[in-house]
Structure 1
């Protein structure tokens, strides 16, 4: 796995840490977490459309209509992440929100890998993967009570 991808993922993660705090500040100005979520998702949509058009990667209508029904779930999860962050971060702080988010992501991802969900390659749950998940949940406790 090229190191540049790992470094890019870390940089994206560091930038991502700012999103809930920014969106929570927007919710204060807008008076509610819902419009802040809408603004964040709308900006994401607009930027994605610009990148798609400039990159000349606009799919055909046939390709769009052939997508499986469960693709909608990805968009709904995005709204949960943004909206949840807007509501949860002012109460918990950014660090505990993200350590819980990551622990949940890892727990869910190990199951997705194990079953090869959504057409992914099967990667069975092993002892080391389970230990990694347990260490992550221990991290939740350390961040919360440390």
Structure 2
């Protein structure tokens, strides 16, 4: 069999495809782990601002580059969060959320002046993210407390 350029390219592509399908057995510790979402873990990683008692609460998106301001929040259940874009970013999406929460985030590019509101009622920790124009991910955290009105 003669190895032409075309056959060499096909063989290389097939080998790369096969290598990608083989993967690993899942024991690789470098795989992404779901972040801790308890309040103590969130406080260690984020500068958590206590906004309990406030409604609505605003989060600036991309105010001076790829970040949220504040990047961490504590709020009461049933508080409205308003993300307000000061720059541009792609998608706002959940990374880790309580099981009871059905939030799926937003799709598409957002630019300065855009806003997105969401009421969070499920207690617990949330980690969410977005990507800047270069595809770099930045994250924020939220901890929702029971507001005590049901007691």
Pick the structure with more strand per residue: 2
Fold equivalence (TM over 0.5): no
| Band of TM-score, shorter chain | under 0.3
TM-score normalised to the size of structure 1?
0.22
- Which is greater in Rg? 2
TM-score normalised to the size of structure 2?
0.22
